[in-house]
């Protein structure tokens, strides 16, 4: 007699329950975080209007930050739990692929599970090896002899210039 695959329904229900619990915890932590932020906002307004001291606000800041970190850590953990439970539920449901059967005059035919065909990986084109150019040996570097540094000519002190004459000589 031919048997059809049957899903383990109780295991699937357990997974869904775990998934649902994780989702509820995520929502609860989000609401708790929103309440905490609202409380801190009201306290900062009280400080702004001078009802509480800066020291009281500073202690509230520290307390609020530690609580926010705890809530964020819980949120991440519950998100991971829900992701994991969802993956298990998907895997269990995906494993229930129907086996193909056909009724014929001679009886029932089928029951072979076809394996999923894997896509062939395309081979990367073969790259030709290019030889690296060989480095030519350089001639030994000759030491450069420094030419003597020429001293700059010093400017002469300004002297009185002779006046140009019109060409007439003075008589003595």
Expressed as residue numbers, the domain containing 48 is: 9-109
Nearest to 92 by CA among 172, 6, 12, 5: 12
**Would you say 89 and 20 are in contact if contact means Cβ atoms under 8 Å apart?**
no
In a domain, 31, yes or no: yes
Q: How many domains does the chain have?
A: 1
Q: What is the pLDDT of residue 98?
A: 82
CATH of the domain at 59: 1.10.287
User: Tens of pLDDT along 78-121?
Assistant: 999 999 999 999 998 888 888 888 888 888 888 776 666 777 77
Task: Calculate what percentage of the chain has a pLDDT beyond 90.
Answer: 42
In a domain, 57, yes or no: yes
In a domain, 64, yes or no: yes
Q: What is the pLDDT of residue 59?
A: 92
3-state secondary structure the chain: CCCCCCCCHHHHHHHHHHHHHHHHHHHHHHHHHHHHHHHHHHHHHHHHCCCCCHHHHHHHHHHHHHHHHHHHHHHHHHHHHHHHHHHHHHHHHHCCCCCCEEEECCEEEECCCCCCCCCCCCCCCCCCCCCCCCCCCCCCCCCCCCCCCCCCCCCCCCCCCCCCCCCCCCCC
* pTM exceeds cut of 0.75: no
Q: What is the arithmetic mean of pLDDT over 156-171?
A: 64
């Amino acid at each position: 007699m031919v048997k059809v695959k049957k899903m383990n329904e109780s295991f699937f229900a357990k997974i869904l329950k775990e998934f649902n619990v994780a989702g509820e915890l995520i929502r609860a932590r989000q609401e708790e975080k929103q309440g905490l932020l609202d409380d801190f906002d009201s306290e900062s307004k009280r400080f702004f209007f001078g009802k509480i001291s800066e020291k009281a606000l500073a202690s509230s800041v520290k307390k609020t930050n530690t609580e926010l970190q705890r809530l964020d850590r819980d949120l991440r953990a519950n998100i991971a739990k829900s992701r994991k439970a969802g993956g298990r539920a998907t895997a269990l449901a995906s494993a229930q692929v129907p086996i193909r059967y056909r009724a014929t005059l001679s009886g029932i035919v089928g029951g072979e599970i076809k394996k999923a065909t894997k896509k062939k990986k395309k081979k990367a084109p073969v790259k030709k090896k290019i030889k690296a150019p060989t480095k030519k040996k350089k001639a030994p570097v000759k030491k450069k002899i420094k030419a003597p540094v020429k001293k700059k000519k010093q400017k002469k002190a300004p002297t009185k210039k002779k006046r140009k004459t019109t060409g007439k000589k003075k008589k003595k």
